[in-house]
Amino acid sequence: MRLAGALKRAPGKYRRCPPRCAFASPRLHCRPRGPPPRAILPNPSHAPFLAALLIFQCLGESVSYVFSLPVPGPVIGMLLLFAFAMFRPNAAEAIEPTALELLRHLSLLFIPAGVGIMVSAQAVRGEALAVIASLAVSTTLGIAVTALVTRALLRRQRGRENTGEGA
């Protein structure tokens, strides 16, 4: 009996079943003790806000498809969500906990992209130089734009602090 062998290997890890359990023949259950595994969205109140995020993504996909835009649908959806949040700040505050919870698991969202790269590695092999050059240029541009925006925001913040101190 496999269950009995598992119990000998890990004593104290398993608990006795209640009398009406479906696995009650040996009166031992194979479910380990301890808390259940944590869900990605443990709070059921996140569900409507997750649905709102998905609706904006679907809207973006629809706009991109209908107008045959070269911009990806999720980017358009993000811009629509940004515009909505600008007009309704309380909606942005309500969506924030759900978005932060999703950001905690952001690395999982890169798995499909990584699998796609691995699947199409043969097709990209001939274009390796172009891919490497585009990655280098786009990374450099991204860092430069981030630095310029950060510098401009810091200047703006210092200007506000200076005018606030004088008043």
pTM attached to this predicted model: 0.51
Residue 112 placed within a domain:
no
> Could you tell me if residue 13 is inside a domain?
no
- 96 and 64, same domain (yes or no): yes
- Return the percentage of the chain with pLDDT > 70, whole number: 72
Do 96 and 136 belong to one domain?
no
Task: Mark which of 77, 106, 135 sits at the end of a domain.
Answer: 106
Total count of domains within the chain: 2
Mark 84-107 as b/e (b = at least 16 C-beta within 10 Å): ebeeeeeeeeebeebeebbeeeee
- Distance separating alpha carbons of residues 75 and 71, to the nearest angstrom: 7
Residue 114 lies in a domain: no
* Domain limits for position 136: 127-159
E strand or H helix that includes residue 159: helix 128-166
Domain assignment present for residue 146? The answer is: yes
Contact 19, 25 (CB under 8 A): no
Local confidence band at 20 (pLDDT 50, 70, 90 cut-offs): low
